Amino acid sequence: MTTSPENRIGTQGCVVVTGASTGIGAATARELAHRGFLVLAGVRRDRDADALRAPGIEPVILDITDPDHISALATRVDSQTTPLRAVVNNAGISVNAPVEALPLNEWRTLFEVNLFGHVAVTQALLPALLRESGRVINISSVGGKIAMATFGPYAGTKFALEAVSDALRRELAPLGVAVVVVEPGGVHTEMGERGIATTTRLAEAMSPDHRDRYGQLVQAVVALTAAGTTGGSTAEQAARVVAEAVTARRPSTRYTVGRDAAMITRLSRVLSDRMLDRVAAATLRRHHPKAAA
């Protein structure tokens, strides 16, 4: 006799997934619930909670930059008998803009969400993870390995997350908690589409001098990003990789998602900076707007 999914809820423990409204986060919540976990799925809005709620998935309103939300999440975790097996730090926003042209307040917002919010969630839930020898899964990006032109702000947050993950892994390994990084390449999600919209908005707000210097570059990056998200991996494929990081008996320190991610991470290890510059420039050149007749 097979056990129904409803009867398996929580048999594998509890997992917290941030940024679960759409994309990789939502797909990960569903994949883990299917595997018998109770998933506390962080969402920003009630309508997102209603869309995600299902057997094994308990949506929680969570803005990872709000200390009160994080405190409430920690209280919710501590109040249950189901052990916390993992935290998947997935919430994030995408911003691409030239370093010179992006206002500092935009930089700070990006780091608050993509780095400091993850640190805050991890700090709050580490006591529960330490009790159960759980693990921390940080969703990074190939942008945590290579920063193409205009990817400096976003990649800066991911490079920092990679560094924090390395330090945290070495701090927690003696205490029985594993730390794993997942590095997706191009994934077709709403986050990618929102990133394109944000990049376009920021480009329209650039000064005339900035538009002269970077206008065609930004257009090429938008086209490249659109091609990557359209032809990339699916959110469900990424979710299966995250689930492997959660459930593997001896997880790898890093997982990639998609062939593009695997290739880029290999290139970053073997090519010189100048060679990588040429590869990145050639990749963007194919997406530059055609010269006017």
Residue type, position 182, single letter: V
pLDDT of res. 202: 86
* Token duo for residue 9: 């809820």
Show which residues are catalytic. 154
154 neighbors 200 (Cβ within 8 angstroms): no
Q: How far apart are CA 241 and CA 259, in angstroms?
A: 13
What sign does the CA torsion over 262, 14, 88, 236 have? Answer: positive
| Domain residue ranges of the chain, discontinuous segments joined by + | 5-189+233-270
pLDDT of res. 229: 60
Report if pTM > 0.75: yes
> Would you write out the chain's pLDDT as a tens digit for each of its 293 residues?
444 555 577 789 999 999 999 999 999 999 999 999 999 999 999 999 999 999 999 999 999 999 999 999 999 999 999 999 999 999 999 999 999 999 999 999 999 999 999 999 999 999 999 999 999 999 999 999 999 999 999 999 999 999 999 999 999 999 999 999 999 988 877 776 777 888 888 888 899 999 999 999 888 888 887 776 656 789 999 999 999 999 999 999 999 998 888 888 888 888 899 998 998 888 888 888 763 33
* Token duo for residue 216: 């065609």
Q: How far apart are CA 61 and CA 40, in angstroms?
A: 10
pLDDT of res. 228: 65
Indicate the fold that domain 5-189+233-270 takes in CATH.
Answer: Rossmann fold (3.40.50)
pLDDT of res. 260: 86
pLDDT of res. 287: 83
